[in-house]
Amino acid sequence: MQKPVYNRAAYTGRIEAFIEKNIVKVLTGHRRVGKSRILYLIMEKIKKNKAKANIIYINKEDIAFDAIRSYHDLNNYIAAKSVKNKMNYIFIDEVQLINDFHITIKSLLLKENNDIYITGSNSDMLSSDLANELGGRYIEFTIHSLSYIEFLQFHKLENDDASLEKYIRYGGLPYLIHLPFDNEVIREYLNSIYSTIILKEVVARKKIRNTIFLEQLVKYLAGNIGNLFSSKSISDFLKNQRTEISPNQVIEYISALTDAFVIHKVGRYDIIGKKMFERGEKYYFEDMGIRNMIAGYKPQDRAMRLENLVFNHLLFCGYDVKVGVLQAEEVDFVCSKNGEKLYVQVTQELSKAETIDREFGNLLKIRDNYPKVVVSADVSFENTYEGVQHVYIRDFLSI
């Protein structure tokens, strides 16, 4: 495996705490967000502490491991490479490509000297395979596209508005460091990644037949970031576009896209009642570059791109994010972490009185003492408004 250029400490620091623990470390995320490189960083950490560590590495995207197709094959390969009475560090990249892999993983856990790390590009491998078989014996680490600060580090850029514009336009897939900042070059690369995800993680894995509708659905979601949807409203809209699709099929296709980490589904939370609504949700894209490749980079989309950007940063920071509902008002994001909350409103500009009243006013109606923040692209606006903090987008992404 090629040595990674940068350490993604936000992830490796968390994973290192579980080295040599008899629990499966599961790295999930969008294709090409750097899961394999993080595995390599963990291997490097292990070898640094134990030069003669017995590391067993399998990469199912490498034809050298093509013979490992079933859980029997996987078990036989690992058994042949394992050493008795010594710690075996087992790394399996894209494990979902091995049939019934969870059977072998469960068996490997029976031996205290097996330290197991696996990656997968589809989240339903947890619910359908690992969760049922392993119960509480695994821990998941979701790997995201590069954060803004990681993007600056990878590309050796200054933290200025020109760099932020590059990040918003091109997204945070790590391989972009090998490409010039050229619209057509990056578009071709992003299109190839997107096509691979759709074909392998969505169409093939979910056995989806109506690929034309799938493409229309993705384009529709990409052009309506931050809008409130239901499966019926999407179905009704597409029927108006002469595409017949039932609400149940919409649910099925959206589920496939979320499982593949193309989009994130965000439910609505009643701030006063402290409960989730059963219907209505918003969708955000994991990688802004792929979103822009699908929908285009239009000036009129600045506000929705900003909202998606803030959402992604909140995920990177480890928050559980919901859309807030406060009676007839909406709060863009209600964020929870370690028993604490953060309320966030997002707006492109704050030059009009009605915008200021709406964005800050919604937060001021929340009667608790948790932090409340308005994030905008308006660098000149004051730092606070009636006690609610205002943060310029570049500063927010640098936290």
- pLDDT tens for residues 238-272? 777 777 778 888 899 999 999 999 999 999 999 99
Q: Which among 252, 247, 263, 242 has a CA at the least distance from the CA of 209?
A: 252
> Has residue 1 got a pLDDT over 60?
no
pLDDT at 5: 57
pLDDT digit string (tens) for 354-383? 999 999 999 999 999 999 999 999 999 999
pLDDT digit string (tens) for 297-348? 999 999 999 999 999 999 999 999 999 999 889 999 999 999 999 999 999 9
Spell out the SS3 assignment of the chain.
Answer: CCCCCCCCHHHHHHHHCCCCCCCEEEEECCCCCCHHHHHHHHHHHHHHHCCCCEEEEEECCCHHHCCCCEHHHHHHHHHHHCCCCCCEEEEEECHHHCECHHHHHHHHCCCCCEEEEEEECCCHHHHHHHHHHHCCCEEEEECCCCCHHHHHHHHCCCCCHHHHHHHHHHCCCHHHHHCCCCHHHHHHHHHHHHHHHHHHHHHHHHCCCCHHHHHHHHHHHHCCCCCCECHHHHHHHHHHCCCCCCHHHHHHHHHHHHHCCCEEEEEEEECCCCEEEEEEEEEEECCHHHHHHHHCCCHHHHHHHHHHHHHHHHHHCCCEEEEEEECCEEEEEEEEECCEEEEEEEECCCCCHHHHHHHHHHHHCCCCCCCEEEEECCCCCCCEECCEEEEEHHHHHCC
pLDDT at 3: 56
pLDDT at 157: 97
pTM: 0.94
| Beta carbons of 262 and 286 less than 8 angstroms apart | yes
pLDDT digit string (tens) for 77-88? 999 999 999 999
pLDDT digit string (tens) for 147-177? 999 999 999 999 999 999 999 999 999 999 9
Question: If you classify domain 9-142 with CATH, what class do you get?
Answer: alpha beta
Mean pLDDT for the chain overall: 93
- Torsion angle defined by CA atoms of residues 325, 327, 331 and 335, in that order, rounded to the nearest 10 degrees: -50
- For the chain, what percent of residues have pLDDT higher than 70? 97
Q: Cα 99 from chain centroid?
A: 25
- For the chain, what percent of residues have pLDDT higher than 90? 83
| Beta carbons of 27 and 93 less than 8 angstroms apart | no
- For residue 253, is it left (φ>0), alpha (ψ between -120 and 50) or beta? alpha
pLDDT at 2: 54
User: For the residues 140-147, what does the mean pLDDT come to?
Assistant: 96
pLDDT at 129: 66
In this structure, how many other beta carbons lie within 10 angstroms of the beta carbon of residue 229? 19
Q: How confident is the model at residue 95 (pLDDT cuts 50, 70, 90)?
A: very high
pLDDT at 128: 62
Instruction: Locate 52 and state its tokens.
Output: 């003669």
Q: How confident is the model at residue 210 (pLDDT cuts 50, 70, 90)?
A: confident
Looking up tokens 């947890």 gives 126
> Has residue 135 got a pLDDT over 80?
no
* R_g over Cα of the chain: 22
User: For the residues 34-42, what does the mean pLDDT come to?
Assistant: 95
> Has residue 73 got a pLDDT over 80?
yes
315 versus 205: the higher-pLDDT residue is 315
Domain ranges of the chain: 9-142, 148-397
Q: How confident is the model at residue 124 (pLDDT cuts 50, 70, 90)?
A: confident
